[in-house]
Structure 1
Amino acid sequence: MNDIVQVRQVKKNKYKYIYEELADKMKDGTFQPGELIPSENELAQQYETSRETIRKALTLLSQNGYIQKLRGKGSVVLDTNRASFPISGLVSFKELADQMKGSIKTEVEEFNLIKPPPFLQHQLQCSAKDDVWKVIRTRTFDEERVILDKDFLLKKYIPDLTEEICGQSIYAHIEHDLGLTISFAKKEIVVETCTEEDKRYLDLNGFLHVVVVKNYVYLDDASLFQYTESRHRLDKFRFVDFARRHMK
């Protein structure tokens, strides 16, 4: 009787066993980031189980950040060693890059002074007469362009900006050269369909959406001086935060 119960329990939890075995293969490098894992049919045959059980295991892998399901292609392995970007912190990309491993490069794709269209007037709370620095930069990790940063800064707060500064650190220039204090930011995180600009500047590897972090950044006198869209390829980055529940 006990043997029967044990067999039923093994069958009931088989999807967890499959999940753990596949996850281990992704951790030890048997399955490499960017590689497609076997299809549902192939896995069902390999583990001598139903496709329903395989789907449950794959769902668990997806929920825990091991795979991304691509329409018409299958399930691709994600990079579990991807960089973590803090949600509530206010740090420059260079400060983050200094803590990361691997080959990291910033390329300034566009740098000019513009008059803000209505959209930017709304985002920066400025007028059509204001001058705005437009800075488009790509961030390359291990030879793949995976972040597109679109920065818009009001010239009346940041009077002197150069392409060379943008290739290094704009925040270092603001704080060290201009002596200003960057105080706080409001952030919005959304998932959007890839634009033509994303397709032109990023190595999307078949992904149809990007994670977009929109930043409204303020100086210590509460002046809004910057609006940023940081557009990230889905498989390469996770956003982390620490939260504590305060009891009432």
Structure 2
Amino acid sequence: MRKSKFVSIYNDLSEKIHQKKIDAGALLPTENELCAQYQASRETIRKALAMLSRNGYIQKVQGKGSIVLDVSRQNFPISGLTSFRELAAHSKRQWTTNVHQVVLLKPDEHLKMVMNLQDGQTVWQVVRSRSTEGESVILDRDYLIQEVVPLLTADQCAHSLYDYIENELGLKIGFAKKEITVEPANEDDYHYLTMHEGTHVVVVRSLVYLENAQLFQYTESRHRADKFRFVDFARRDHM
């Protein structure tokens, strides 16, 4: 699937901001200048700028332009719905995904309750860890309803689940409900993660829905607490 031009422009500008080719506090070129630079329509440029604003890269000031915000610190966003592969693409670190398990199973009673599953429904269980700088610091356990995702391979899980679901299966992912807690490390954390002296992990549990509001995924993502800062970028709605 061909990437929309405004997404390519967003990626280019956000990368320049990350690499400090455009300094925090500086003004982006005007819309007319960006149209000429990227050979794009004003509507396309405005979509790219809106995406930059929504993700905390710029602040639009009427009569002045788009001011670049400080994004120098590495953060793990808690809002939005972004795949790990997309987050890693903007990270200064090199990341590796290790797929430990891809199995089809009958859900237990807890999972049936969490995902509102009916008797006879089956789910894919995917266990992956994420490593950087020689240490495993994230453990992801995903459950996907087989009726929505009929087939799943380790290669697809190693690359990107969301890329496969959206670009291969042609489904549109809509939104997620998230819960964040700090919990004592369990047996799996000590087995899959490089824990050192840490005794607790930050756990992000997500229910992910398609655009038509159909639940298709439950994820438990466990993070080594000393490696991440969980942030949100909020804008006040002016009524």
Pairwise TM-score range, normalised by the shorter structure = 0.5 to 0.7
Give the alignment partner of residue 227 of structure 1, picking from 186, 196, 218: 218
Alpha-carbon separation, structure 1, partners of 2:237 and 2:228: 29
Letter in 1 for 2:104: L
Alpha-carbon separation, structure 2, partners of 1:246 and 1:104: 36
Letter in 1 for 2:175: F
Alpha-carbon separation, structure 1, partners of 2:192 and 2:204: 17
Correspondence for 1:116: 107
The alpha carbon displacement at 1:127 in A equals 2.1
User: Does structure 2 retain, via aligned residues, the 8 Å contact 1:185–1:218?
Assistant: yes
Q: Given the two structures, how large is their TM-score scaled by the length of structure 2?
A: 0.68
Gap runs ≥5 in structure 2: 1-71
The alpha carbon displacement at 1:129 in A equals 1.3
Do residues 165 (structure 1) and 136 (structure 2) align? no
Letter in 1 for 2:207: Y
Correspondence for 1:196: 187
Alpha-carbon separation, structure 2, partners of 1:214 and 1:83: 21
> What are the residue-to-residue correspondences of 1:195-214 with 2, within 5 Å?
195-214=186-205
Deviations along 1:97-118, one digit per CA (max 9) or x if unpaired, are 1111222100001110000001
Give the alignment partner of residue 182 of structure 1, picking from 149, 173, 193: 173
Alpha-carbon separation, structure 2, partners of 1:225 and 1:174: 11
Do residues 134 (structure 1) and 89 (structure 2) align? no
Alpha-carbon separation, structure 2, partners of 1:82 and 1:246: 26
What do you get for the CA RMSD once the two structures are aligned?
Answer: 1.4
Q: Secondary structure at the match of 2:120?
A: coil
Correspondence for 2:13: none
Do residues 156 (structure 1) and 165 (structure 2) align? no
Correspondence for 1:85: 76
Alpha-carbon separation, structure 2, partners of 1:135 and 1:90: 19
The alpha carbon displacement at 1:161 in A equals 0.8
Alpha-carbon separation, structure 1, partners of 2:73 and 2:118: 40
Q: Secondary structure at the match of 1:218?
A: strand
Letter in 2 for 1:204: M
> How many residues matched?
168
Task: Check 1:224–1:145 CA distance in 2 against 1; reply closer, same or farther (3 A cut).
Answer: same
Deviations along 1:3-34, one digit per CA (max 9) or x if unpaired, are xxxxxxxxxxxxxxxxxxxxxxxxxxxxxxxx
Correspondence for 1:241: 232
Q: Secondary structure at the match of 1:235?
A: helix
User: Does structure 2 retain, via aligned residues, the 8 Å contact 1:85–1:238?
Assistant: yes
Task: Check 1:200–1:99 CA distance in 2 against 1; reply closer, same or farther (3 A cut).
Answer: same
Alpha-carbon separation, structure 2, partners of 1:89 and 1:241: 9
The alpha carbon displacement at 1:247 in A equals 6.1
Alpha-carbon separation, structure 1, partners of 2:189 and 2:220: 12
Percent identity reads 51
Rg (Cα) greater in structure: 1
User: Does structure 2 retain, via aligned residues, the 8 Å contact 1:82–1:237?
Assistant: no
User: Does structure 2 retain, via aligned residues, the 8 Å contact 1:103–1:143?
Assistant: no
